[in-house]
A and B are shown apart, each in its own frame.
Chain A
Amino acid sequence: MALDERVAELKRYVGFEESDALLLARVHDALASDFPRIAQEFYDKIREHEEAHAVFTGEEQIARLQKSLQAWMHRLLGGTYDAAYYARTERIGEVHVRIGLPQRYMFTAMSLIRLDLQGLVEARAARSEVMATKAALNKAIDMELAVMLEAYSAAHLARIERKQELDRSATELASADVAAMELTSELVVGLDKDGRILVFNSGAEGATGYGREEVIGKPFLETILAEESHAEMSAILAARAVEAKRHRADTFVRTRAGKLRDVRWDIAPTRIGAVAIFLIGHDSTEEKKLGERSRQAEKLAAVGTLAAGLAHEIRNPLNGAQLHVAYLQRMLKRAGATAESLEAVDVVGDEIKRLAVLVTEFLDFARPKPLDKKSTSLFALIERVRGLIAPDAERAKVAVACDLPSKDIEVELDAAKMEQVLLNLARNAIEALAPTGGHVVLRLRRQPRGALVEVEDDGPGLPSPDAPIFDAFFTTKSEGTGLGLAITHRIVTDHGGTIAVESQAGRTIFRVVIPFGADVTEA
């Protein structure tokens, strides 16, 4: 309700008429000389009350307020009680609220002023008008109080709303806590004073494999922890009652499936509802595994370095052996040795060469050189490979065809290494077709994110489709080192690409995808 409506209603209610206004205006001048004294006495009285006095900041303020009080009395007996008048009254009430003046002091203070003014009216108003003027004064003061109280009421309502808002956000926050607890992958477990599970979050469910409905109310130690961790944890749980401090414990949790997991617990005593203790657990099983794996990788790298050093050194005795075999071959030929003798020496020479190839391939595999990437035309690369395998293909009666798209594709790659990849695959295909011959297709296709190179043959296919053909030292060939496809795989993956095989009798396809680098151009 608007102020002027409320004032009109108040006036009707207390029966404040225009005649009342006139009476008050008429008595004003007779009373005005006492206003400074009333104001003085009023504030002197307030000084006697600690809580009321506490709202003042100092003497200057009190002096100012005394002036305000005088002005108010002039106003009260001013004879004009319109909306502007009550708007000011309302502001005075707001000031009272703001400075924290308790309502009871406003009432009792008003009572003091009222008594004082009434006494003055009795003494100084015209005899016939004393009663009516006192009544008018009371009505005016009551209306004054009523309007000022509105300010308290409005402030009170605002306070309630604010509190409700706080309560609401506190509730929301509380549910946010619960939600956060459910979001974390850490284990959150709350126990009652007897060590039974009361809180079991989804992190705990995930790590243990138990649903909360299964474990709530059950003893934590026996239900969740592995036997070897019982003693330590039960000591901590017993101790927490006497010393209210946090603990930390590394334990094994036994999952529903019976597996052990490493969990480090932060243990904090609490008093939230029936929860006497909270355990926040961190599952470090995977981290430990990862750590072991990286230690394993380091060990392998060290072994690799050692093996690479050994491989290099093997070349020295091989060199001596090779050279002497060459010398022996020459001598035997010159001496007119038998074919058998010559063949025997040739075998030694071939075996030495095989060892030499193995060493080289092993070093390529164990100590790959960094990629030297350049924008490369795949048309040119495939053409070069076709040229390199042509003699082998002819010998094995294999027809090699290229199936190329209409436009060349350029990719950032290490041309020498990628050539090795395609050569390996093409040579494998040719070997698979020997000695009866067949067809090999080198196919190139553009894909959204890279170039697809396929090497297809119509040979008998891989003996076993699940064989780990890309693993080092896996080979199906009596003469193979078992490193060709492992190196091929490594080069492709070093380029960020993929290699896969699809094989059945009559059709084997190796698919290499080389991703486009940062700048891809279409020639």
Chain B
Amino acid sequence: MGPLVLVVDDDARTARTLGRMLREDGYEVEVAVDGPAAIARLTRSPVPNILISDLRMATVDGVAVVRYAQSRRPDMRVVVVTGYPHLVQSALDPPPIVLTKPLVYGDLRAALGSAGLA
């Protein structure tokens, strides 16, 4: 079993495709298509090892998701993928890894590094 990744993006097709690619590369992946679904998933066990989240989403945004995730698992690797990278800097502590959209898959793999991979 690879590390568990939660992909959060309100663009469901993109989230699913990203999940598919990550799965092929050895990760366990679950997808949430909005903030409330992401937080609902984070309340359950097993708590994901990695969170890849969009930032600007309706109702509950990525900042709230990341904060909740960090409270659930302080050592969780968090990657925020956003079109608004400048909004992340001051909003989150500790600062997550920030990747600017459009996401280059290779950059994401580099950012995840060997986190949790066997």
Point out which of B24, B101, B102 has the most chain A C-beta atoms below 10 A from its C-beta. Answer: B102
Q: Are the CB atoms of B17 and A319 closer together than 8 Å?
A: no
- Shortest Cβ distance from A328 into B: residue: B17
Set A313, A324, A352: member contacting B83, Cβ < 8 A: A313
A323 within 8 Å of B (CB atoms): yes
B43 within 8 Å of A (CB atoms): no
A316 within 8 Å of B (CB atoms): yes
A360 within 8 Å of B (CB atoms): yes
Tell me the bound Cα distance from A139 to B38 in angstroms: 130
Q: Are the CB atoms of A326 and B81 closer together than 8 Å?
A: no
Q: Are the CB atoms of B21 and A356 closer together than 8 Å?
A: no
Tell me the bound Cα distance from A58 to B5 in angstroms: 114
| Distance from A63 Cβ to chain B, minimum over Cβ atoms (Å) | 94
A320 within 8 Å of B (CB atoms): yes
Tell me the bound Cα distance from A327 to B16 in angstroms: 11
Beta-carbon contacts under 8 Å, B63-88 to A? 81-84, 86
B-side contacts of A74, CB under 8 Å: none
| Distance from A321 Cβ to chain B, minimum over Cβ atoms (Å) | 7
Beta-carbon contacts under 8 Å, A274-326 to B? 312-316, 318-324, 326
A-side contacts of B103, CB under 8 Å: 319, 322-323
Q: Are the CB atoms of B83 and A319 closer together than 8 Å?
A: yes
Q: A316-B11, A319-B81, A320-B11 are in contact. Are A326 and B105 (CB under 8 A)?
A: yes
| Distance from A235 Cβ to chain B, minimum over Cβ atoms (Å) | 61
| Distance from A269 Cβ to chain B, minimum over Cβ atoms (Å) | 64
B-side contacts of A330, CB under 8 Å: 21, 24
B-side contacts of A322, CB under 8 Å: 101-104
Set A312, A327, A360: member contacting B17, Cβ < 8 A: A327
B-side contacts of A369, CB under 8 Å: 86
Beta-carbon contacts under 8 Å, A349-363 to B? 352-353, 356, 360
B-side contacts of A324, CB under 8 Å: 13-14, 17
| Distance from A420 Cβ to chain B, minimum over Cβ atoms (Å) | 16
Q: Are the CB atoms of A323 and B86 closer together than 8 Å?
A: no
B111 within 8 Å of A (CB atoms): no
Majority DSSP secondary structure for residues of A touching B: helix
| Distance from B69 Cβ to chain A, minimum over Cβ atoms (Å) | 21
Tell me the bound Cα distance from A319 to B104 in angstroms: 8
B-side contacts of A314, CB under 8 Å: 83
Tell me the bound Cα distance from A326 to B81 in angstroms: 16
B39 within 8 Å of A (CB atoms): no
Q: Are the CB atoms of B18 and A323 closer together than 8 Å?
A: yes
A-side contacts of B86, CB under 8 Å: 369
Q: Are the CB atoms of B20 and A327 closer together than 8 Å?
A: yes
Contact with B along A354-396 (1 / 0, CB 8 A): 0010001000000001000000000000000000000000000
Set A316, A326, A327: member contacting B101, Cβ < 8 A: A316
Set B13, B82, B84, B104: member contacting A320, Cβ < 8 A: B13
Tell me the bound Cα distance from A321 to B82 in angstroms: 14
- Shortest Cβ distance from B86 into A: residue: A369
Q: Are the CB atoms of B101 and A315 closer together than 8 Å?
A: yes
Beta-carbon contacts under 8 Å, B103-117 to A? 103-105
Tell me the bound Cα distance from A320 to B10 in angstroms: 11
| Distance from B12 Cβ to chain A, minimum over Cβ atoms (Å) | 10
Set B24, B83, B100, B105: member contacting A323, Cβ < 8 A: B105
- Shortest Cβ distance from B106 into A: residue: A326
- Shortest Cβ distance from A349 into B: residue: B104
B-side contacts of A327, CB under 8 Å: 17, 20-21
- Shortest Cβ distance from B10 into A: residue: A316
Q: A318-B102, A356-B102 are in contact. Are A323 and B84 (CB under 8 A)?
A: no
B-side contacts of A356, CB under 8 Å: 100-102
Tell me the bound Cα distance from A44 to B104 in angstroms: 121
Q: A323-B17, A323-B18, A326-B21 are in contact. Are A316 and B104 (CB under 8 A)?
A: no
Q: Are the CB atoms of B14 and A318 closer together than 8 Å?
A: no
| Distance from B28 Cβ to chain A, minimum over Cβ atoms (Å) | 19
Contact with B along A336-357 (1 / 0, CB 8 A): 0000000000000000110010
A-side contacts of B20, CB under 8 Å: 327
The 10 closest A-B pairs by CB, nearest first: A315-B83, A322-B102, A319-B101, A315-B101, A318-B102, A320-B14, A326-B105, A319-B102, A312-B83, A327-B17
Q: What are 26 sample pairs from A and B whose C-beta atoms fall under 8 A apart?
A: A315-B82, A315-B83, A315-B100, A315-B102, A316-B83, A316-B101, A318-B101, A319-B81, A319-B83, A319-B103, A320-B14, A321-B102, A322-B101, A322-B104, A323-B14, A323-B17, A323-B18, A323-B103, A323-B105, A324-B17, A327-B17, A327-B20, A352-B102, A353-B102, A353-B104, A360-B100
Interface residues of B (CB under 8 A from A): 11, 13-14, 17-18, 20-21, 24, 81-84, 86, 100-105
Given contacts A315-B82, A315-B100, A326-B104, 14 further A-B contacts (CB under 8 A): A312-B83, A315-B83, A315-B102, A316-B101, A319-B14, A320-B14, A323-B17, A323-B21, A323-B105, A326-B21, A326-B105, A352-B102, A356-B100, A356-B102
